Amino acid sequence: MRSDLDLKARQTLKSAKLYCTAGRVAVLKALFKADKPLTQEEITGQLGQNHFDKVTIYRTLESLLKVGVVHQAFVKNRARHFELSHNCSETQCHPHFTCTSCGKTHCLTDMRMPKAQGRHRGFIIHRQQTRFEGLCPACA
């Protein structure tokens, strides 16, 4: 019998018109369970290196990015962080907060930021992302 997360992952893939491969289902399940954006290494760690190699996970993330199921939340220390895109619009991501003491990142899905308006010296904004840094409640 399939778990709720397994069914949710399969429905998401079906809606995106992607094949339900074991790798895609596993990556989506890891992202559904996460309460923060994950790096490729964190996803690999959750799945266990015996199940899928880094190339499979990388290609899976790229295919999920391409259809908009997943998006790149931000880059920190040259590592891309991924999350499901259901809490974001095509042009604006919900804000993230990273604690400067413990290093944990939190999704602030209930916070809305005003969208940047107009052009600034010829720049064309395609996507807006906001990230805050400071002390989380546990470290404050």
Domain boundaries, the chain: 4-86, 88-140
Q: Give domain 4-86's CATH architecture.
A: Orthogonal Bundle (1.10)
The reported pLDDT for the residue numbered 89 is 65
% of the chain at pLDDT higher than 70: 93
Closest by Cα among 111, 116, 110 to 128: 116
User: What are 117-132's pLDDT values in tens digits?
Assistant: 767 777 888 777 788 8
Residues 27 and 98: their CA atoms lie apart, in Å, by 23
Can you list the alpha helix ranges (DSSP code H) found in the chain?
Answer: 4-15, 22-33, 40-47, 54-66
Q: Running DSSP on this structure, what letter comes out for residue 60?
A: H
Confidence of residue 49 (pLDDT cuts 50, 70, 90): low
Q: For the chain, how big is the Rg over CA atoms in Å?
A: 16
**Neighbour tally for 125: CB within 10 Å:** 13
Residues 68 and 86: their CA atoms lie apart, in Å, by 9
The reported pLDDT for the residue numbered 114 is 82
pLDDT above 70: residue 86: yes
